[in-house]
Structure 1
Amino acid sequence: MGTRKVTLLVLLVLLVAGGLSSMFRVFETEQALVLEFGRPVRTVQDAGLHFKLPWQSVTILDKRILHLDTPAQEIITSDQKRVIVDAFARFRIADPLKVRQSVGDEFGAANRLETIVNSTVRKILGSAPFTSILSPERLRLLEDIRTSVNQAASGLGINVIDVRIKRADLPEANSEAIFRRMRTEREREAKEARAQGAELAQRIRSRADRERTVIIAEAQRDAEIIRGEGDSRAIKIFADAFGKDVDFFAFYRSMQAYTKALDGEDTTLVLSPDSEFFRFLDSLEGRTDAKK
């Protein structure tokens, strides 16, 4: 009777142990692969409590998006520039069965993906000029890298979400050489700009000088024309006045001559008493009229 109880107790323990070993739990962030003697038999994507045969085993894989940092590598661009590139990728395990069959587990998947990313980055960036890595064209290059990596990794059961470049620097020696060349180019451009500015300033000054000469010449010409017209009118006025009153005209011109001749304080004139110059000093009608 005691032996029977012990046997039943042992059987009960074995049943409980077998039942417990036949259950496994999958969380929301996980997915499972059920193996039978090392051979995959089914995948489990849903979270919760699941069952298996006691002799079967379970491999848990992460369902979340995983991050992969690749080591920095030196790349030679199409214009023969050496660039140090540091990239990273974001991926997730899309097919646990393919991952198991191709690389074993998620660590093997990460190692294989690192190799694919490095080779793809080296290939695509190596076929592009250095300036494209620093320009908006960089986005197109990154999309080409992501597409190529995704195609290569799809057979591994991996879905690549994104591939990015964290850093793209020149080696120190190359940086100094490029900075020197850039400085030389900027100095040359500045010198050309100054020369062009000086040439433009000279052209402006020459044009201004020509315009000034033309304006002065035209002003002088107009002044001579106006002066000539004024002299002509003055002569006409004198002629008209002379024709209307000869005596007054002679008197007026004599007064002008007296003013000019006696303008200085120490002016001395030596003339004959009978000189016609002072004829209006003897008489308003002139000496000749007085004698008459």
Structure 2
Amino acid sequence: MQLHPHTSRRRTGRLAGLTAALAAVVGLSTLTGPGAHAAADNPYERGPAPTESSIEALRGPYAVSQTSVSRLAATGFGGGTIYYPTSTADGTFGAVAISPGFTALESSISWLGPRLASQGFVVFTIDTLTTVDQPGSRGDQLLAALDYLTQRSSVRGRIDSSRLGVMGHSMGGGGSLEAAKTRPSLKAAIPMTPWNLDKTWPELRTPTLIFGADADTIAPVATHAKPFYNTLPSSLDRTYIELNNATHFAPNTSNTTIAKYSISWLKRFIDKDTRYEQFLCPLPQRSLTIDEAQGNCPHTS
């Protein structure tokens, strides 16, 4: 039977439409299937695939802007500086607040601000209410700084308030443990050569990376960093890195070892970015900059 030309064209058009629809469905399933790019599976992934050199670099892939928060504008902490990725093209970012140590000012930990922010985080380096505040107070101030960041700051729209972390040096490091105890919803804690009278932390539920220093005479690792680490729950994602030939004040100047493992920890647990697992597990080996490392690998969360 011979088809009328108009009928033939209609059938051809319908077939073309069906083919296009099928291609669209196949394409969609390809984008969302197991072979899809990691970003499709992880909406928090930010930045290009990391390398050893990229996490050791002084600056990451993001241009960084900064804004000051005066002590008068702050509530519950002493003001500070917010560092953040300039571009909004990638959406929101996780955030971290960082406290200095006993008698120290924000300037003592300010190098971490642009270094971490350039890797895709909003970073708040803070001053404390007084330079002699104890760890419990510093923990409260870290949480107050995070609340300011997510609720009142000029960059609050750039932050994912469900993905927050804390860091701190010395008493600020002890404060980061206190903050994680108070607010278990925090995604990461990084105490650096921490000091605290409380030596046991079985209640923590936040993935925790602790830096100790082998030549620390102010917060010796035997009575501070190591007991803190050893008393964290064994089921918790936790790591202890002892810096080699380093003093209590190692976190006060630009330090590539602290930076690379802090970046990896924050990426792994604030961003859930498993591309950074390779730098944390297996544990780093003893080297010119690392005296020892302990931890649970592979990570579970």
Q: Same fold (TM over 0.5)?
A: no
Q: Over alpha carbons, which structure has the higher Rg?
A: 1
Structure with more relative contact order (C-alpha pairs < 8 Å, separation 6 or more)? 2
Q: TM-score, normalised by structure 1?
A: 0.27
